[in-house]
Amino acid sequence: MKIETRTVGDVHILDCSGKITLGEGTMAVRNTVRDVLKNGGKKIILNLADVNYIDSSGIGELVSSYTTVTNQGGKLKLLNLTKKIQELLAITKLLTVFSVYDSEQQAISSF
């Protein structure tokens, strides 16, 4: 699991690649999101285009990160979901919780 962080204006984009699974994957997401919040970032986009697998712990971490960001007055949005992740979020009814975008520009301008 690798996460590259970049900033467009005041929006922090986290480009995730690999697997978000129990252990290293979930810790990487959690730590990166918390670092952005600690440094004053309130607008966060998780780009999941290169995430090829996510397990139940990974889904749980997305929800946990969403809650953490929201409780600190920020917004967390998802970008470029793969078909599998989109289906998972639909089955778990989490598509109704997250703001999901297919275009980076749409996601940025939605803040």
Q: Which tokens is 76 given? A: 């967390």
Rounded CA-CA distance 41/11 in Å is: 7
Q: What are phi and psi of 15, to 5 degrees?
A: -85, 105
Domains and CATH numbers, the chain: 2-105 (3.30.750.24)
The maximal CA–CA distance of the chain, rounded, in angstroms, is: 34
Quick one: pLDDT at residue 88? 94
Three-state SS string over the chain comes to CEEEEEEECCEEEEEEEEEECCCHHHHHHHHHHHHHHHCCCCEEEEEEEEEEEECHHHHHHHHHHHHHHHHCCCEEEEECCCHHHHHHHHHCCHHHCCEEECCHHHHHHCC
In this prediction, what percent of the chain has a pLDDT beyond 90? 100
Model pLDDT, residue 70:
98
Give this prediction's pTM.
0.97
Cα(82)–Cα(64) distance, rounded to whole angstroms? 20
pLDDT digits (tens, 9 = 90+) for 56-85: 999 999 999 999 999 999 999 999 999 999
